[in-house]
Structure 1
Amino acid sequence: MAANIQAGREEACTAPAAPADITAASAGYLWARDTVGESGGRVHRLHGKAGAPELYLKHGKDAVADDIGHEMVKLRWLADYLPVPAVTQFVRTQDEAWLLMTALPGHTAYQVMAARPDLQGAVVDALATFLRRLHVIPADACPFTSEHPYRLARARSRIDGDLVDEDDFDEERQGWTAQQVWQAMQDLLPFAPDPVVTHGDFSLDNLIIQGGDVVGCIDVGQAGIADRYQDLAIAWNCLGEFGPALQRRFLARYGIDQVDQRKLDFHLMLDELF
């Protein structure tokens, strides 16, 4: 089993307790638990079953169960427009939710860029192309909102509930409190929104690459109508690990000639609170 485990990102485990429908659909698989995600729930990769595709299982309780339910609905809606994991099983009880999905073939954009520096430029171009494809989905067809007033209300609730991990802030905000981030965001308002259908967490870990192209996206629980900088800011921030030249290349390839620094800063700080 160990040879199939993705080093540094997951660990082998036994199958967790689950409802009968989930247990039946996952019979015969080997299990690995994700050790990277920050969703608040548990993510497992199911692999090693002869003749069967890899699967992923998300499980959570209480508010996380609500988020998993929202992701299930969004996956089914987005499937008409973009390649996303197919929902295999979904079970919701009063307090818990289980979402079983197909795995997309390939590797995350982060994995490819870290392992193949020679492909970094091509991956950045593919990310920008895929993001443009996402952002031209008709906004009036999208039933979900992630606009900044909505997300600000959620962020305020997280601050008041002491749910923000202040130790995980980006380097430029190390030592800040969540309230300081909140106030700095207020100083950047208002701005004119440019609403499109967004992924909500367009990070290098959530875009899957195969054969040089983005073949799909995962973790779509934050998807909905929002300003396009919601996605641009997160991707730009992730690419910072690989250097400013790739950040500039991404924005240019997407079609941004003049960066709106106010929106970029606002959405980077908004992301700190989730």
Structure 2
Amino acid sequence: MNDTLDHDGDHSPREIPSLAPDLPPSLATRLVGVDWHRNLVGEAGASVHRLHRAGEPDRHLKHGDGDAAVAIAEEFARLQWLQDRWPVPALLHFEATADRCWLLTRTLPGRTTYEWLADHPERAPEIAAAIGRFLRRLHELPSATCPFNAGHGLQLDHARRRLEAGLIDADDFDDERQGWSPEQVWDALNALLPLAEDPVVSHGDFSLDNLLMEADEGGALAVTGVIDLGRAGIADRYRDLAILANCLDEFDGDLRDAFFTAYGLDTPDTRKLDFHLLLDECF
């Protein structure tokens, strides 16, 4: 079980030992004898378990019903396309039953960049720069080859429907928007339009908990891969830049400069950063 420091300096478990969930027969047979660990970070409606068996690589199982099942199926489709294009988890099994989806992948090496920052604050600028270089490489994948659209026009339509259905959670807004209503976020978002897109293949939730990092034999740090790909698709590059810069701000407001410089941005577009953070509040 991995423990990391939260922002108040307390150790918080990121996973706990657990029993196996109810499994379809195909998975129950395949996963006999594994040790189960329930993930407590960023499940977003799905249940996520790490599976360990001595002498074998770890695996992760994500499963859920309702909207979570839809999201898992969307992630499966994106993972299929991203295999051998991005450093993403290898697909091992996908199954959809009458009311549930199951996605089994091989666990990527490394610890999350959140854990690295929490445990090694003295290396924070190095970590931020490594993430910037990594994102630049991800964004070099030709966007014309990607079959998934995540442009802000489509995302705005989805956000509007969530607003009208009362699904936007104001309690989950970032600190600078605590006390805002979903309608205020929507109005601020639309005040920044129109917005010209610079399309890339975007991760969509490019946050510290979705990036894995390792140190090489010489101690140099590098990002080894990305997880949680359910929102990946063609979108403006600032969709990823904004989310990661906002995450870095939780540790140190100066880290975004190291991140942007390593990415290759001398003068970030603050209007685009604001827009994509507001849009992210809607999901």
SS of 2:279 mapped into structure 1: helix
Contact 2:207 2:243 (C-alpha < 8 Å) held by counterparts: yes
Q: Is the 8 A contact 2:129 2:261 kept in 1?
A: no
Question: Which residue is equivalent to 2:126?
Answer: 122
Structure 1 partner of 2:226: 217
1:267 and 2:272 are equivalent in the alignment = no
Equivalent position of 1:20 in the other structure:
25
User: Is residue 86 of structure 1 aligned with residue 95 of structure 2?
Assistant: no
Q: Corresponding residue for 1:142?
A: 146
User: What do residues 216-237 of structure 1 show as CA deviations (whole Å, max 9, x unaligned)?
Assistant: 0000111000000000000000
Instruction: Describe the SS at the equivalent of 1:45.
Output: strand
Shift of 1:252: 1.4
Instruction: Specify the SS of the correspondent of 1:230.
Output: helix
Q: How far apart in 2 are the matches of 1:152 and 1:213?
A: 34
Once the two structures are superposed, residues 199-255 of structure 1 have per-residue CA deviations (whole angstroms, 9 ceiling, x without a partner) of 111101000001111110000111000000000000000000121211111111111
Q: Could you tell me how far 1:162 is from its partner in structure 2?
A: 2.0
* Alignment root-mean-square deviation, CA: 1.2
Query: Offset of 1:5 from its aligned partner?
Result: 5.5
Deviations, residues 26-78 of structure 1 (Å, cap 9, x unaligned): 2211111112214211111112x111111111111122111101101111211
Aligned partner of 2:174 in structure 1 is 170
Q: In structure 1, what residue type is equivalent to 2:29?
A: A
After superposition, what is the alpha-carbon deviation per residue over 1:174-220, rounded to whole angstroms, capped at 9, x for unaligned? 01111110111000000111111111111010000011111100001
Q: Deviations over 1:68-99 (max 9, x none)?
A: 01101111211221111111111112321010
Deviates more, 1:125-134 or 1:227-236: 125-134
Q: Contact between 1:57 and 1:100, CA under 8 Å: does it hold in 2?
A: yes
4+ runs of 1 displaced by more than 2 Å?
4-7
Q: Distance in 1 between matches of 2:125 and 2:282?
A: 30
**Residue 239 (structure 2) aligned to one of 230, 234, 241:** 230
Distance in 2, matches of 1:159 and 1:40, equals 19
- Consecutive unaligned residues of structure 2, counting only runs of 5 or more, are 4-11, 216-220
Aligned residue pairs total: 270
Could you say what secondary structure the match of 2:230 adopts? coil
Residue pair 1:21, 1:89 contacting (<8 A) in 2 also: no
User: What TM-score comes out, normalization by structure 2 length?
Assistant: 0.92
Q: How many angstroms apart in 2 are the aligned matches of 1:175 and 1:197?
A: 33
Conserved in 2, the CA contact under 8 Å of 1:78 and 1:84?
Answer: yes
Query: In the TM superposition, what are the counterparts of 1:33-48 in structure 2 within 5 Å?
Result: 33-47=38-52
Aligned letter for 1:33?
A: R
Corresponding residue SS for 1:242: coil
Q: Alignment partner for residue 165 of structure 2, among 161, 167, 181?
A: 161
- Give 1:121 deviation, angstroms: 1.6
> Is the CA contact (8 Å cut-off) linking 2:130 and 2:262 kept in structure 1?
no
Secondary structure of the 1:196 match is: strand
Deviates more, 1:168-177 or 1:158-167: 158-167
Structure 1 residue 12: Cα displacement:
1.6
Partner of 1:69: 73
Please name the residue that 1:111 is paired with. 115
Q: How many angstroms does 1:265 deviate by?
A: 0.4
- TM-score, structure 1 as length reference: 0.95
Find 2:13's aligned residue among 4, 8, 14.
8
* Structure 1: 5+ residue stretches without partners: none
Q: Identity across aligned pairs (percent)? A: 50
Give the distance between the partners of 1:25 and 1:130, measured in 2 at CA. 34
Choose from 88, 95, 99 the match for 2:99. 95
Q: Give the deviation of 1:24 after TM superposition.
A: 2.0
The secondary structure found in structure 2 opposite 1:80 is coil
Q: 2:89–2:106: 8 Å Cα contact kept in structure 1?
A: yes
